[in-house]
Amino acid sequence: MGVEYRHFLVVNDKDWLPAADTLARVDAVLYKWSLINTPTMVFDLSTMKESSEKTIPGFMPGAGQAVVYGDGASGKPVADIAGRCYYDTVEDEDHYISKIIVVAGNDIRIQQSDEYCYFEQISPAPDQECIGFVHSLDAIPWPVSKTFYAYLVHGKYSGAPEMRIHLGKNFPELYDWSDYAGYWRGAVMLDFGKSLPGFCDQLRQLPTRDFVNDLASAFRGPIAEIGVVY
């Protein structure tokens, strides 16, 4: 078992919607930084079906498309964006990201929490039955189901969720944002698994800002970073 870590880079804009080329633009950034090869899964979050073609969708994502790069990355490309591993005994060549998942679509997705930062869902309440709010992720396969907590269907749920963010009192330095809403429509998840980045117990922010800026340009929107220990 042991501690594992996921790092989210999400579009921090409540009104943001993806374009037809969003996924291709993000794919190009990840490839530029030598973090990916080709997708191992493309899952349509509108139809809840896996695509038979493992290629980047070139159309409007609709409710959502999830692109999984299950081969991960290791060595220099990981150290280049994330710095050293948290564990001193792990050399840069052994530092890894186990998988990368990109999600973009019109549906609102509730941010995952951990014990250091809890995203409390005020409205709709997690146990509330209402049109357009989906809490069960049983129809979504692993690992896509690990990228968000619940979702609100665009065009069915009216308005935006009300969230309350609780930061751990013992770790106030983990985040420097104050305007993150607690939900998103576009995100990149870097799953470091047990290869925790060295910054995971400090400011949870990738040290290589050029990479983050490249993703912001690809998404055409500002980025907020959230870390989840699991």
> How large is the C-alpha radius of gyration of the chain?
17
Q: C-alpha angle with apex 57: 54 to 61, nearest 5 degrees?
A: 130
pLDDT one-digit tens code per residue, 113-156: 999 999 999 999 998 889 999 999 999 999 999 999 999 999 99
Closest CA to 150 of 122, 177, 178, 171: 122
Q: Give 107's Cβ-side CA count (13 Å radius).
A: 25
Instruction: Average the pLDDT over 82-109 and give the result.
Output: 98
pLDDT one-digit tens code per residue, 2-52: 899 999 999 999 999 999 999 999 999 999 999 999 999 999 999 999 999
State how far the Cα of 79 lies from the Cα of 102, in Å rounded to an integer: 20
State how far the Cα of 174 lies from the Cα of 76, in Å rounded to an integer: 25
pLDDT band of 1, cuts 50, 70, 90: low
Q: Which residues pair with 228 in a beta bridge?
A: 6
pLDDT one-digit tens code per residue, 56-94: 999 999 999 999 999 999 999 999 999 999 999 999 999
Instruction: Average the pLDDT over 176-203 and give the result.
Output: 96
pLDDT tops 90 at residue 207: yes
Residue type, 106: N
State how far the Cα of 182 lies from the Cα of 47, in Å rounded to an integer: 25
30, containing H or E segment: helix 22-32
State how far the Cα of 81 lies from the Cα of 225, in Å rounded to an integer: 13
When the pLDDT of each residue in the chain is averaged and rounded to a whole number, the result is 96
Instruction: Give the least confident one: 56-70, 89-103, 168-182, 188-202.
Output: 168-182
CB contact at 8 A, 204 and 83: no
